[in-house]
Structure 1
Amino acid sequence: MAEAAPGMDARAVAAESEGQVAAQRKTEAQADLPLLRIERVAKRFGSFRAVDGVSLDVRAGEFFALLGPSGCGKTTLLRMLAGFETPDEGRILLGGKDIAKVLPHERPVNMMFQNYALFPHLSVRDNIAFGLKRAGMARADIGKRVAEMVALVKLEGLEKRKPDQLSGGQRQRVALARSLARRPQVLLLDEPLAALDKKLRESTQLELMELQRRLGLTFIIVTHDQQEAMTVASRIGVMDAGRLDQVATPRELYEAPASRWIAEFVGDINLFDGQVESRDQGRLRVVTRDAGTVVVAEPRQPIGKTAVAVAIRPEKVKLSRRGPAADAVNAHAINRLEGVVTDISYLGGMTTYKVRLDSGAVVRSAMANTARIDMDAYGLSQRVVAWFTPDDCLVLDQ
């Protein structure tokens, strides 16, 4: 507690101390707030509800991805963050301030468009400088900032070129540099790598991640590419029909999807519909139509229905000629499905197999190619056992 200065009574000292404590608590509370908070935001176009009551927190310095199929509302949400659309309902808070009605050029947010939106008649240098000139920055400072951005995205020596003299990857870097030049608090990226070929897209993803870490900025990327979202983002929000269905880390999203739809949308998966027959010691016995009785680990969140879907990722389905060795795993816990190999796809690092079960259903397996020449590889029409453990399975509501 503060000591009383000459002429101050105890009540004044107490009031001063309480004020200091309140100020400290307010500072701590503000520190816990997310940089960006979206509260029940909705946007309609006529009778169509493009964004339907979305709420989301994004932390400072986070690389966040909005993932979903075309028409799910992710780009509309991004445009509201940028200021190009105004929400019909809800609030958008940046640093605790509502920016829903702030003009685009007046908010500390910048957006990199899918087609890059470069000015064809301007050089690389002038494209990057464009926003700085509109903001009224001094000419000398513009020169320094442009040079900084050119170095940041590794475009040295190309400053005088026009966009049509650049490769697709170089144009993407110019657009990125222009978006970063005004040092926004949040950078929005709308399918920024869609126009690049696969190899360039993969290398650019890594460069984006490194750039985001180095600058410490908040990036929000919109994409329909699941692999891209899982590569670059620390968290992913999956959207469908204008709603945000799940927000999770890439691992959580893949290993513990919140719904059957998300399980099917994110990655490849085998699904068997069935009925829960019994529960015993943390295991469920599920009688399925296509795979017989399957033993699965009981999920942490209790399943309220007896009608469920058993889901298994292909890389968790092993193949063998006679089934697993008896000492490999607890024998009674193994799920065994017999069938015939009908399709083989060699993908370099792994091989995927389709196995037609005796029931007629197809199960997919993805196995790593750990040897240069695998003498034990399986052939077409070969009879095999596809097996997996209870812990390999997910249980989802139908």
Structure 2
Amino acid sequence: MTDNLGNSRGASSPLLRVANVTKRFGGFTAVDDLSLDIVPGEFFALLGPSGCGKTTLLRMLAGFETPDAGDILLDGSSIAQVAPHQRPVNMMFQNYALFPHLTVADNIAFGLKRAGLPKPDIDARVEEMVALARLQGMEARRPDQLSGGQRQRVALARSLAPRPRMLLLDEPLAALDKKLRETTQAELLEVQRRLGMTFIIVTHDQEEAMTVADRIGVMNQGRLVQVATPRALYEAPNSRWVAGFVGNINMIEGQVTSSDGGCITVAAADAGKIVVAGSASAPSVCIAIRPEKIALSRADEDAAGGVNALRGTLLDISYLGGTSTIRVQLDGGAVLRVAVANATRTDVETFASGQRITASFAPADCVVLES
């Protein structure tokens, strides 16, 4: 069971509790009365546009910023006023912050030496982290002798070496190219699963958040506007803003004209009549439909007479490799984006610009948004 922000209830006691935290910089409120529970072993992602407050929140968890109001509790004890080096929390920075004059092994061992661990324990921990991050044979190299992905793994190993209760990651993959980023995402997820440690990652990359996270918290203007699993966030956004921010989506405004049998009928000036599974408490709603939920057929085929079968004209086709994006202008004026999987080389060859087309979708594939 979850509350309205997706926080787990009863599943496990929270490792981290952020309780009504506010942080201001002069007259600007970076984090605004934010509350969040994160359970042990969870991979949690903070997602949002630039300036939404996600990095400020992460810095407060690390101890680099202090809340102006509210509290931060780890294992039930307040850490809001605890110095960064005294918290069982480590942070991995976007630029990795490796020491250029130290070897891989010495970079990993740096924090352990500062903590005063005996040399045999340090050596054993470095060996463990080298194996975990797949850095065998690179122990004597300096950072400038490593690739971007290898430097990222060194930074990860150094952050994990003290065995923190929680690891914070600030856009750790932003500097990597797309292919390397995808590979590193999988490696990061594997490490987190093997350790069973709580990871909190800040990212502006929606695909990255969807790939690695158990839950995602979407932030806007210092507030958490929705917390949910990746699937729930994508399939059931709770507002127009979240729907528009997470992935591609078509949104059609309209007026509810009837309600019957678990469905409502919406009259949209630029799209026509749309039947949606669900209910609405307001007369004006927004109907959201993901591009891949829409099927296309020639205008003279059977779909033209069915429920949510909307006639229009094909505007253009964008070939994206695995999929193609097709834009269809409905007769009422609305433009729909449709995603078509290129399962065969000829999948989109039956469609062409200027063609009369029918776009159809099931009532259950629509989401009703009232805010």
TM-score above 0.5, yes or no: yes
Instruction: Give the deviation of 1:332 after TM superposition.
Output: 7.4
Aligned AA (2:51): G
**1:185 and 2:165 equivalent?**
yes
Q: 1:150 to 1:194 in 2, by over 3 A?
A: same
CA distance in 2, matches of 1:136, 1:150: 20
Q: Mapping of 1:283-298 within 5 angstroms?
A: 283-298=263-278
2:209 & 2:315 partners in 1: Cα distance?
32
CA–CA separation in structure 2 for the residues paired with 1:86 and 1:384: 57
Change (3 A) 1:261 1:30: closer
Is the 1:65–1:222 Cα contact (8 Å) retained in structure 2? yes
Is residue 319 of structure 1 aligned with residue 299 of structure 2? Answer: no
Give the Cα–Cα distance (whole angstroms) in 2 for the partners of residues 385 and 162 of structure 1: 60
Equivalent residue pairs, number: 363
2:150 matched residue in structure 1: 170
> SS where residue 79 of structure 1 aligns?
helix
Task: Give yes or no for contact 2:299–2:356 (8 Å, CA) kept in 1.
Answer: no
Q: Percent identity?
A: 67
Q: Secondary structure at the match of 2:338?
A: strand
Do the aligned partners of residues 32 and 270 (structure 1) sit closer, same or farther apart at CA in structure 2, a change above 3 Å counting? closer
- 1:304 positional shift: 2.6
Return the offset for 1:325. Answer: 4.1
Tell whether the 8 Å contact from 1:295 to 1:333 is kept in structure 2 after alignment: no
Question: Which structure 2 residues correspond to residues 354-365 of structure 1 after superposition, within 5 A?
Answer: 354-365=327-338
277 and 375 in structure 1: CA distance in 2 versus 1, 3 angstrom threshold: closer
Larger Rg: 1
State whether structure 2 residue 284 is matched by structure 1 residue 307. Answer: yes
Deviation at 1:345, TM superposition (A): 1.5
Confirm or deny: 8 A CA contact 2:12 2:39 kept in the other structure.
no
Q: Indicate if the aligned counterparts of 2:271 and 2:333 stay in contact, CA closer than 8 A.
A: no
Deviations 1:295-334 (A, max 9, x none): 11124xxx331111111000001100036647xxxx9762
Measure, in 1, the Cα distance between the counterparts of 2:10 and 2:230. 28
Deviation at residue 361 of structure 1 after TM alignment:
2.2
**1:148 maps onto 2:125 in alignment:** no
Once residues 323 and 59 of structure 1 are traced to their aligned partners in structure 2, the CA distance between those partners, rounded to angstroms, is: 54
Distance in 1 between residues matched to 2:211 and 2:204, nearest whole Å: 13
How many Å separate the matches in 2 of 1:188 and 1:294?
45
User: Aligned residue for 1:8?
Assistant: none
The gaps in structure 1 that reach 5 residues or longer are 1-28
Q: In structure 2, what residue type is equivalent to 1:367?
A: V
Is 1:341 the counterpart of 2:314 in the alignment? yes
Between the aligned partners of 1:264 and 1:380, the Cα distance in structure 2 is 26
Judging changes above 3 Å, is the alpha-carbon distance between structure 1 residues 285 and 228 closer, same or farther for their aligned structure 2 residues?
same
Once residues 309 and 247 of structure 1 are traced to their aligned partners in structure 2, the CA distance between those partners, rounded to angstroms, is 21
Matched, 1:111 2:91: yes
Aligned partner of 1:209 in structure 2 is 189
Q: State the distance in 2 between where 1:66 and 1:222 align.
A: 5
Deviation string, structure 1 residues 156-200 (Cα, Å, up to 9, x no partner) = 111111111111111111100000000001000000000000000
Task: Give, in angstroms, the shift of residue 342 of structure 1.
Answer: 1.5
Task: String of CA shifts for 1:352-371, please: whole Å, max 9, x gaps.
Answer: 10112222321010011222
TM-score (norm 2): 0.94
Runs of 4+ in 1 over 6 A off after TM superposition: none
CA distance in 2, matches of 1:270, 1:280: 24
Quick one: distance in 2 between partners of 1:375 and 1:140?
A: 63
Query: 1:118-174: per-residue Cα shift (whole Å, max 9, x none)?
Result: 111111111111100111111111111111111111111111111111111111111
The 2-side partners of 1:135 and 1:87 are apart by 27
TM-score by length of 1: 0.88
